[in-house]
Structure 1
Amino acid sequence: MSDYRFLLSGKWVGWLLLACAAAALSLYLGGWQMDRNDHLVGENTKVTQNYRAEPLTGDEASAQFAAHDERLSWHPVELTGEYLPEDQVLVRNRPQNGRVGYEVLVPFRTEGGDVVVLDRGWIPTGSAANGMPDEVPEPPAGEVTVTARLRPGEPVVDRGAPEGQIATIELEELQERWGRSTGTAAYAEVFAEDPAPSVAPAPPPEPEIDSGPHLSYSLQWYAFAALFFVAYGYAARQQARNDEWDRQYAAEMERRLSRFYDEDGNYVGEGDEELVIRQMEMADDMPAHLKSLMRPKPQRRRHRPTWEDEEDALLDALEGGGRLEHHGR
């Protein structure tokens, strides 16, 4: 472990803290993506289970507009009552099938006296330059039975709208706008009316079941969190190897110097001393990537002699025996 004492230096402690911070950020982003994936999975489950379920009716249906159970989003309800067309309002900037248009909201009074918000469907913008619809279909007059799917209200947005229009389906704002006690927990998207009008807005399209990329993004962020520490460990290993190579290089330079100078520092080599000094200075001033070329390659430790070593030892023994025989004569 002495080879890794440099990890206690300020520089390497800083790199470790940076890796920890980057990993923590990656874990946070991975969790955020996982939460989005879980939410999307939950919404897909609601669509799958509720979209074609049998409609809720009577008080059970009306109660959902005052206290909506989010597990019943997209669930059909069947309501009987009458539209209140004098308070009709358009929701602007609603795309459908590649066009921009409006959704038509109308309050609806049920047989039990509750007033709920119904979205009768979508209409396109008209041909006029002002972007207004050419015509808004009137709701059926008198008693009507509607079948619609429950939807939660939308959040408030920071933008206005012209007279008779709104920018978002914010149910509490609609209650204040109409001056009526309406349900503020949910509204419903109409897909059938009885009696059916001759002209009606287009019903909303069926929602797509899409898992999205959030799960894969989450796994990528978790992988990044681990890779920061892998990179830190790899860099530490390389630093330890470089330090070992530098020690080997220093030992090699000391060995080379011993060929030209004795213990007292006197030059004992052959040739011009100035040339030797110049070569040593050039080697010492080499960049690291070039200096490494002069580093000796680490030798693998042999746990057992090879057949070549055994053959050399045998020859040495034979030669040694021959020499002894010769001296004995």
Structure 2
Amino acid sequence: MYRFLLTPRWLSAAALTVVAAVVMVFLGNWQLHRYHERSAINARIDAADAAAPVPLTSILATPTTSGAAGPAPGGELAWTKVTVTGRYDPAHEIQARGRTVDGEVGFEILTPLLLTDGTAVLVDRGWIPPAPGGAIAAPTVPPAPTGEVTVVGQVHRSESRATPVEHRDGRLDTRRIAVPRLAGELPYPVYGAYVLLTEQTPPVDKAFSRIPIDHEDSWQNGGYAVQWWLFAVMALFAYGWQARKEARGETDGTPPAKDRVAEADQRRSADRGDRVEEADQRQASGHGDRVEDYDRRRAAT
């Protein structure tokens, strides 16, 4: 009944089904890998929030070139809680526009913090709403504290897809916080990551809203992994189901395979019977002709 599976059409369908199932399994495994990656990031965020801060200079490589960013930290250092002391440089403050907090669009204010060794780190002091007139209307920014400032915050790696840095009314304006590009606008070496401020001495101006650290949606990747694996099982099941229907003759209205075999046997038997009957008729006819011819010859003699 399943001899048709050895035909080219069904062999091709089997190969395609297996390839598709293997690809789906690999996609599921990749989503599972992403699930573990994102879960690890969430674990780091939670652990860093509860940990005691460490000196910034103890975990980030010191930059050495003026107007350039130092080495970027690895992913394992992201969100590490750090502390650093220095003096703000409001003359080179940067406004990152189009930033959303709690569903509202506004600005994040990054101010370079100068360390005693002449290097600097960008500190994201927080979010403020735009001025009346639109989401990108330049806001009124509370001035940075003067004198020595101690900042506690979490390491934030440079954002990808850097956008141009524009000079607007004596201030620097950008869309993405890409540290290497921003460092090119500053006259001193800059650390390769910026600090997302959580605490400050003296206290942060109340006009600022703290930037929340969003957790990764790891469960979405977990769901996708299960989904791809189910698709692989469904592909194999669909092939087996279709083969079963073909064997039972349910795909095109033809009778089941066993009935088709019986019908073929009947046809072969009928054909053999017809051939035997025809041979008997020819034999009988030939014999009669010979008898009649013999009688004529005998009568003639």
Per the normalisation by structure 2, the TM-score is 0.76
SS in 1 for 2:214: coil
Counting matched residue pairs gives: 261
Q: CA deviation at 1:104?
A: 0.7
1:29 counterpart (4, 27, 30): 27
Q: Percent of counterpart pairs with the same letter? A: 28
2:9 to 3, 8, 11: 11
1:156 corresponds to? 161
Of 29, 36, 39, the residue aligned with 1:38 is 36
Q: What does residue 50 of structure 1 align with?
A: 48
Alignment of 1:116-195 (within 5 A): 116-129=121-134, 131-157=136-162, 163=168, 164-184=172-192, 186-195=193-202
Query: Which residue of 241, 244, 262 maps to 1:234?
Result: 241
Aligned to 2:258: 244
Q: Give distance in 2, aligned partners of 1:17 and 1:157.
A: 45
> CA separation in 1, counterparts of 2:111 and 2:94?
7
Q: Confirm or deny: 8 A CA contact 2:92 2:111 kept in the other structure.
A: yes
- Aligned partners of 1:123 and 1:133 also within 8 Å: no
What's the CA shift for 1:221?
Answer: 0.6
Unaligned segments of structure 2, at least 5 residues: 63-69, 250-256, 279-301
Residues 116 and 182, structure 1, Cα contact 8 Å, conserved in 2: yes
- Structure 1, unmatched stretches of 5+, are 266-329
Q: Mark the CA change 1:206 to 1:157 in structure 2 (over 3 Å): closer, same or farther.
A: closer
SS of the residue corresponding to residue 231 of structure 1 reads helix
Q: Are the structure 2 counterparts of residues 161 and 24 from structure 1 closer, same or farther at C-alpha, using a change threshold of 3 Å?
A: farther
Counterparts of 1:1-329 in structure 2, within 5 Å, are 3-57=1-55, 59-60=57-58, 63=61, 66=71, 68-129=73-134, 131-157=136-162, 163=168, 164-184=172-192, 186-208=193-215, 210-242=217-249, 243-251=257-265, 264=277
Distance 2:83 2:114 in 1: 13
For residues 18 and 158 of structure 1, the distance between their equivalents in structure 2, rounded to whole angstroms, comes to: 44
Q: Deviations over 1:119-178 (max 9, x none)?
A: 111111221247314311111011111111111111124677673211211111111122
Q: Is the 8 A contact 2:128 2:139 kept in 1?
A: no
Q: Of the two structures, which has the highest relative contact order with CA contacts closer than 8 Å and spacing of 6 or more?
A: 2
| TM superposition shift of 1:262 | 10
> Structure 1 residues 23 and 90 mapped into 2: Cα distance closer, same or farther (>3 Å)?
same
**Is the contact made by 1:50 and 1:73 (CA closer than 8 Å) also made in structure 2?**
no
Tell me the CA shift for residue 10 of structure 1.
1.5
Q: Is the 8 A contact 1:88 1:106 kept in 2?
A: yes
Matched-pair contact (CA < 8 Å) for 1:61–1:79: no
One-letter amino acid matched to 2:42: N
AA at the equivalent of 1:43? I
Distance across 2 between alignment mates of 1:160 and 1:87: 12
AA matched with 2:277: D
